[in-house]
């Protein structure tokens, strides 16, 4: 799973529908049709990328992080990855899986 969020603080963190639609469209254009893109917070999205090895998920996260720069956006995306080889064997609750991906996104902000 790749969690993606925009770098915003304070009052700017309030989501504007038109901006969200633009961000969602950008993200949708960067993922495969088999991937699941979901909004998980005011300015946060998650991508579930089935059958993607850890290095592939990291490549996706990097591509998503760099996407706003290429589009000339004033907002920067940050992305974090949490990956398991087999979700069923990992025996993780879906919320725990999401929390781990979100934590990885937060950690990417600090690096």
46: helix, coil or strand? strand
> Which CATH code is given to the segment(s) 2-110?
3.30.70.270
Position 6 confidence tier, pLDDT thresholds 50, 70, 90: low
- Flag whether pLDDT at 3 surpasses 70: no
What percentage of the chain carries pLDDT values higher than 90? 1
Position 94 confidence tier, pLDDT thresholds 50, 70, 90: confident
CA angle 106-101-96, nearest 5°?
120
- The CA distance from 36 to 48, in Å, is 5
Global pTM?
0.72
Q: What is the DSSP secondary structure assignment for residue 12, as one 8-state letter?
A: G
Tens-place pLDDT, residues 25-73: 888 888 899 988 888 877 788 888 888 888 998 898 888 877 765 555 5
């Amino acid at each position: 799973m790749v969690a993606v969020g925009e770098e915003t603080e304070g009052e700017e963190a309030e989501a504007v529908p038109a901006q969200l639609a633009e961000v969602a469209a950008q993200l949708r254009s960067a993922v495969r049709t088999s991937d699941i893109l979901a909004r998980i917070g005011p300015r946060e999205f998650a991508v579930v990328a089935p059958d993607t090895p850890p290095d592939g998920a990291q490549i996706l996260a990097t591509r998503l992080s760099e996407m706003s720069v290429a589009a000339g956006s004033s907002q920067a995306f940050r992305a974090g990855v949490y990956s398991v080889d087999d979700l069923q064997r990992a025996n993780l609750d879906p919320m725990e899986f999401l929390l781990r991906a979100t934590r990885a996104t937060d950690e990417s902000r600090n690096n």
